[in-house]
Structure 1
Amino acid sequence: MTSLDLVRERLARFAEQEAHGVSPLYEHLAARAADDPDVAGLLTAAPERFAHATLLLAAAHRLVQAEPFHRLSDYYPSLGGTYGADEHTWPLFRDFVLERADRMRELIGSRTVQTNEVRRATLVYPALAKVKGPIGLLEVGCSAGLLLNLDRYGYRYQTQQAGQLAAGPAKAALGLHCALELAPGAELPKIPKTVKIAARVGLDRAPADLADEDTYAWLEACVWADQPERLRLFGVAATVQRKSPPELVAGDAVADLAEAAARVPEDLPLVVLTSSVLAYVPGEEFVAALRDLGRPVWWLSHEGYAAGLAHVLPGRDDLRPGPGDPAFGVVGLVRFEDGEARSVQALAKTAPHGQRLVWLP
């Protein structure tokens, strides 16, 4: 069991730093849940490392999916709702989840948030292009493995300096857009038309099978309910993946990393990708496992600074959000050889779901 004080603190922080300005519905619900011990208490059914606000909201989203004619669905654009958050939203939500408290606790206690945010491909594509291919890509915490297909998507980067930059296959089924800004002193990164991935492997404690209806519905529920465009992109990416599925391996991010890496041929440069995963994995242990792989490896990290790059690039307070600042991710590229970090680069700050990339000098 997770303490009530901890989950209330996480709900409040999520509302203030992650949902604020991004998801009016989830900001509204999380802020009120933080002040309601009955609703917040549902989240204590999860182990501490998984007991985050997004899990409570995903569980509620899943139950609203199952009852699409409930009045609460009027506030869920993912289900066709058109109402904005108002004075009725919280009472409806509160009654809904507490009347289904046993089902909520069952979902919260048995599931984890598996955010298949395919727009994050736009954030790591320019970094991946720095590694000469063809490469072998291993995504840790892959869920359904949608980022493993990032070479099959089309990209449009909107810049002030050069207008729109395009990359990826010309007839890609999925097109992704991202604002690309420059921090003071930075230059536009080179964005090649293609990256070449010769092997793709995903490692996850519970790889998501897109062919399973219940699993697919849960992955949809993990998408924030007032962002239907994200849901559409997930559906298109899932279709792309079904046509050519990657190899997905069930295992622990630390204990089974070497076994998963061994599935990437030795003659390919190995790139290990993590994206918003290390909040759930001991970062120091993961970095130690990377060092111990016994072969050169690139670590392409898209994490919060404290969870990711801080383990190999300490002292960069400029990569931490300041008091009251919204949360942001950091794209880093680290090369390990003979157990040592030979090259460490902090490349960009990012909006968490792929909306914006701020390239660093």
Structure 2
Amino acid sequence: MGITLDEIKTRLRAFAEKEAAGASPLYEHLASQAAEDDDIAGLLSEARDGDARGTLLMAAAHRLVQADPIHPLSRYYPSVGGFDGVDSDTWPLFRSFLLERADKARALISSRFTQTNEVRRAALLYPAVAQAAKEAGGKVALLEVGCSAGLLLGLDTFSYRYQCDGGEQLSAGPAKAAVGLHCALDLAPGAVAPKVPKKLTITAKAGLDRSPVDLSDEDELAWLEACVWADQLDRIRLLRSAAAAQCKSRPSMITGDAVDDLVSAADTLPADVPLVVLTSHVLTYLEDRRGDFVAELGKLAADRPLWWVSEEAYSAALEYVLPGRDDLAFTGSGAQAVLGLVRWENGVAQARALARTAPHGQRMTWLPA
């Protein structure tokens, strides 16, 4: 049984209120209006595998604006040169634009998944991967599940600057890098700033995704850009820089299911190297299979040293191995996630919540050990 229109509208409303609010005035406005419009919300009924989410509707619209950048709607889309803020014409133009292209919108929605490659999240993940590598003895292999184009697999090649309270800066990664990331770093009461090394030694990399993005395909790259929010130009710029850098050294990309194909994907990486499995805003989409994913990680850990670095909603990931931490759940708008590090010892998951994280990598609050 497919998702109902009421469920779609509820999801659009939640996207506007919990994700776009305070981050994207354009998407907050469009999603909140779409949540009250049967015709526009109904376009998402074509989505595959229950992927009827506000991000997919916004991405499909963004892709169509990319293809018709002289349409009046484009003046609200900074990604194609627009510079107008939301006004009384924004929604009517958006609505008529999409309905005039309803067949094209449905074709995108029915054939595409939301492919999120938020490059700035690498700044959140780097300290956790570095900690895993330290505990593993220095060298690790990296498997990203839900990798999209695999851009986060380049995290060892990026440079980082963490701006701490009081003006102190922590730097990490190579001094000369094609991609440089900045992240605000707060300390919760009792927390000590993480140690971030200049170098990570990742000996092998692979990405697993149900529909990996081929960056050599211009249409695939355009869709990846369309999944970035249209009024957040820095995110698009970083995406392009990371994509260009990755084309010089492409990781192995595996098409498969996050649960069913996890073990076989891990088997493509050297068995004698400790493994770090990476997930970032992926488990939300697994819904009732999240427990199965964690169970598969446990099976992997029985055969080789394994660490799981997750940057996910607490209820979608860390709660399965670190229950009872209601303080880590979402609070209000801004859709906070939690950076987690899990290792298995004698079949038992040892889980730590390292930091609270902002959704697009712009800030994190380090937690006490």
TM-score of Structure 1 vs Structure 2, range by shorter chain: over 0.9
Select which of 204, 219, 223 maps to 1:199: 204
User: Contact 1:151–1:197 at 8 Å: present in 2 too?
Assistant: yes
Which residue does 2:140 correspond to in 1? Answer: 135
**TM-fit CA distance, 1:162:** 5.8
User: Contact 2:141–2:203 at 8 Å: present in 1 too?
Assistant: yes
1:220, 1:102 → 2: CA distance?
Answer: 21
User: Contact 2:274–2:304 at 8 Å: present in 1 too?
Assistant: no
**TM-fit CA distance, 1:152:** 0.3
User: Contact 1:295–1:338 at 8 Å: present in 2 too?
Assistant: no
User: Contact 1:2–1:48 at 8 Å: present in 2 too?
Assistant: no
1:339, 1:94 → 2: CA distance?
Answer: 53
Q: Deviations over 1:13-39 (max 9, x none)?
A: 111111111000000000000011111
Normalised TM-score (structure 1): 0.97
User: Contact 2:59–2:226 at 8 Å: present in 1 too?
Assistant: yes
Equivalent residue runs for 1:144-163 within 5 Å: 144-161=149-166, 163=168
Which residue does 2:340 correspond to in 1? Answer: 332
User: Contact 1:44–1:51 at 8 Å: present in 2 too?
Assistant: yes
Which residue does 1:58 correspond to in 2? Answer: 59
Q: Deviations over 1:26-65 (max 9, x none)?
A: 0000000001111111111113531110000000000010
1:347, 1:161 → 2: CA distance?
Answer: 21
Q: Deviations over 1:168-193 (max 9, x none)?
A: 11110110000000111111111111
Q: Which consecutive residues of structure 2, in runs of 5 or more, have no partner in the other structure?
A: none
User: One-letter code of the match for 2:159?
Assistant: G
1:267, 1:173 → 2: CA distance?
Answer: 31
Q: 1:213 to 1:237 in 2, by over 3 A?
A: same
User: One-letter code of the match for 1:78?
Assistant: S
2:108 is aligned with 1:107: yes
**TM-fit CA distance, 1:352:** 0.5
Which residue does 2:127 correspond to in 1? Answer: 126
Secondary structure class of the residue paired with 1:306: helix
2:50 is aligned with 1:49: yes
Which residue does 1:26 correspond to in 2? Answer: 27
Secondary structure class of the residue paired with 1:272: strand
Residue identity over aligned pairs, in percent, reads 62
Which residue does 1:246 correspond to in 2? Answer: 251
User: Contact 1:295–1:337 at 8 Å: present in 2 too?
Assistant: no
User: One-letter code of the match for 1:360?
Assistant: L
User: One-letter code of the match for 1:16?
Assistant: E
Q: Which consecutive residues of structure 1, in runs of 5 or more, have no partner in the other structure?
A: none
RMSD: 1.1
Secondary structure class of the residue paired with 2:131: coil
Which residue does 1:317 correspond to in 2? Answer: 326
* Matched pairs, number: 359
**TM-fit CA distance, 1:338:** 4.5
2:128, 2:263 → 1: CA distance?
Answer: 23
1:154, 1:317 → 2: CA distance?
Answer: 34
Which residue does 1:92 correspond to in 2? Answer: 93
Which residue does 2:214 correspond to in 1? Answer: 209
Q: Tell me which moved more, 131-140 or 229-238.
A: 131-140
Equivalent residue runs for 1:231-242 within 5 Å: 231-242=236-247
User: Contact 2:334–2:359 at 8 Å: present in 1 too?
Assistant: no
2:299 is aligned with 1:307: no
Equivalent residue runs for 1:253-268 within 5 Å: 253-268=258-273
1:278, 1:330 → 2: CA distance?
Answer: 12
User: One-letter code of the match for 2:266?
Assistant: A
Which residue does 2:79 correspond to in 1? Answer: 78
